[in-house]
Amino acid sequence: MLPYIWQVFRLVSCLVIWVGAGAAGAETVTLKSADGTVTLDGTLLDYDGEVYRIDTRFGEMTLNALGVTCAGQACPDAGQYAADISFAAADNLADGLLPSLIEHYAFRSGLEAFREDQGKNWTYFLADSARIPVARIQNRSGNSRSVFAALGKGDADLVLTNRPPLASEVTAASLSVDARHQIFLARDALVFVVAPSNPVSALSVEDLRRIYSGEITNWSELGGDDAAITLYGQVRGTERAAAFDAAIGTETGDREGDSPSAKIARMADRAIADAVAEDPFGIGFTGLGFVRNAKPLAIASECGIRQYPDAFGVKTGDYLLTNPIYLYRPATRLPLVARNFLGWLPSETAQFAIDATGFVSQAFVATPLSHQQYRVSNAIVEADEDVTLEELKRFTTLFANASRLSATFRFRDGSTEMDARSRRDLNRLALSLEQGDFTGRTLIVAGFSDSQGSGDGNRTIALQRAQKFAKMLRKAATRADFSKLDFRVVALGEVAPIACNDTAQGRSLNRRVEIWVE
């Protein structure tokens, strides 16, 4: 229906312009504010779809067209200036995240959004309350490689992807990936799922590799029932399949022939979760937002620590199999509606829209220690001769009435220098302080370390990291009133690790500063 409306409106617009062009002296227009309280008469000098330029008795004036209505024969047809915006989005993001963002943005902007599907692609038409077209937003789905190519060729105005471009992609497409053109939008996670009745609750990355390579074929080898494992995987060439290959280190059936991987039942995100939920002996992988009625599995480490695939674990970076979601824009000027959309993305309503889809927004959340039982068990499991009972007691006592904020800040090995993600989150936490979000609360900056070196040395570097972070936070939050909150700095050293300390990746997760609030 909508494409027909769009075409009719275009035809009417052309007629209006033709009639208006032949009308002598039709130059005076009346511009009214949306609520009708402000009216301005003048001679129309120019209109480019974004602003009116008119000559009034007060002199020449330029007015933003958004929220302004025009009356008079010389008024331009706004429909002729409707923006054409093209997206290229990774398939898993084009399915759930991007449509939700467009629809929420339209609602918050007082616009109507109409969707037309074209196979795996779609088009949204945005119109104002008078049904005047504002924008046509088209999407072309693919994997990260194809969407970066589309941006480089000029076939897309904006791209949404699960990873930064490779160096070869930047060079080939002449991409600009500086802070002005790269927007960190959200996070996602690779989650392995089984049926709720399956007794297995956690598997290691090595277990998963052996399952999907055909080395493990029966659940009894993993502590489950004596039954053959049914494999579910993503459609070849999709972004989720690529994420699996990168994380697990084995192909998901891209080979032909009689190999075990060729026996994988291939489906999309939602279908995998639904199929596995009904199959007591199945296992599959999907995104955090598509788990549905299936049971998500924790990732088990050799030392006994488990990482749980929930939104909090993804926000903190504690869950191993996470990936960022980026939006890239070109260096050229975008239409007004596209610029407004990008400006809206950091807002609270946009973050809510992201969380509503099952993806993980940048919004801070807090979880009390009583809801983090695994923290206490991890502290006990990984405790060595440098971690005394008194230190374990101190950890549980210190945070007994506190909640951990999802903002977590990590450091390079043997250093007090934070990684790029942590620097970005520092600025967001500073803004939250400036807005008074923690007024009257106690903010605990807690430093942790890996287990390399002596216990005393680890406590020392953990304290140095916490102190440096606290200083950086105070410097960044220039407008915050620190007299209205209790600001404490503590060091826990290697107590309560997030991951095993016997791998470089595990140690990098453990070198961190956590923020607790009470």
Residue 130 pLDDT > 80, yes or no? no
Cα separation, 105 vs 345, in Å, equals 9
Q: Is 147 exposed, middle or buried (0-12, 13-18, 19+ CB in 10 A)?
A: buried
CA–CA–CA angle 213, 215, 220 (5° rounding): 125
Mean pLDDT of the chain: 84
CATH number of 189-312: 3.40.190.10
According to the model, what pLDDT value does residue 10 have?
44
According to the model, what pLDDT value does residue 134 have?
87
Residue 229 pLDDT > 60, yes or no? yes
CB 269 within 8 A of CB 290: yes
Tell me the torsion sign for CA atoms 406, 355, 421, 268. positive
Domains 82-181+329-356 and 189-312 share a fold: yes
According to the model, what pLDDT value does residue 77 have?
76
According to the model, what pLDDT value does residue 258 have?
39
Q: What does the pLDDT average to over 54-69?
A: 84
- Per domain, the residue ranges of the chain are 2-80, 82-181+329-356, 189-312, 364-517
Q: Domain spanning 82-181+329-356: which superfamily? A: Periplasmic binding protein-like II (3.40.190.10)
Quote the pTM value: 0.79
CATH number of 364-517: 3.30.1330.60
Comparing 205 with 383, the larger pLDDT belongs to: 205
According to the model, what pLDDT value does residue 120 have?
83
Comparing 253 with 347, the larger pLDDT belongs to: 347
Q: What does the pLDDT average to over 217-231?
A: 95
Residue 429 pLDDT > 80, yes or no? yes
CB 355 within 8 A of CB 363: yes
Question: What are 404-417's pLDDT values in tens digits?
Answer: 999 888 877 766 67
Residue 161, SS3?
strand
Residue 1 pLDDT > 70, yes or no? no
Question: What are 298-339's pLDDT values in tens digits?
Answer: 999 887 888 889 999 999 988 989 989 999 887 778 888 999
Which residue(s) pair with 139 in the sheet? Answer: 87, 122
According to the model, what pLDDT value does residue 160 have?
93
In CATH, the architecture of 2-80 is Roll (2.30)
According to the model, what pLDDT value does residue 11 have?
37
Q: Are strands 83-90 and 158-161 parallel, antiparallel or unpaired?
A: parallel
Residue 261 pLDDT > 60, yes or no? no
According to the model, what pLDDT value does residue 25 have?
40
According to the model, what pLDDT value does residue 425 have?
86
Cα separation, 231 vs 439, in Å, equals 51
**Which one, of 215, 208, 194, lies nearest residue 243 by Cα?**
208
Res. 154 pLDDT band, cuts 50 70 90: confident
Q: What does the pLDDT average to over 129-136?
A: 83
Residue 4 pLDDT > 60, yes or no? no
Tell me the torsion sign for CA atoms 446, 310, 280, 236. negative
Question: What are 88-112's pLDDT values in tens digits?
Answer: 999 889 988 999 999 999 999 999 9
Query: According to DSSP H, which parts of 279-388 are helical?
Result: 311-316, 336-344, 348-356, 373-381
According to the model, what pLDDT value does residue 501 have?
85
Cα separation, 322 vs 188, in Å, equals 6
Cα separation, 244 vs 291, in Å, equals 16
According to the model, what pLDDT value does residue 369 have?
84
C-alpha pair distances (Å), 206 with each of 220, 231, 481, 512: 16, 16, 49, 26
Cα separation, 288 vs 162, in Å, equals 14
Element containing residue 234 per DSSP (H, E): strand 230-234
Q: Which residues neighbour 251 within 8 Å (Cβ) at sequence distance 6 or greater?
A: 245, 261
CA–CA–CA angle 294, 283, 235 (5° rounding): 100
Q: Report the 10 Å Cβ neighbour count for 36.
A: 8
Question: What are 7-35's pLDDT values in tens digits?
Answer: 444 433 333 333 333 333 447 899 988 77
According to the model, what pLDDT value does residue 176 have?
62
In 383-466, which ranges are E strands? 403-410, 442-448
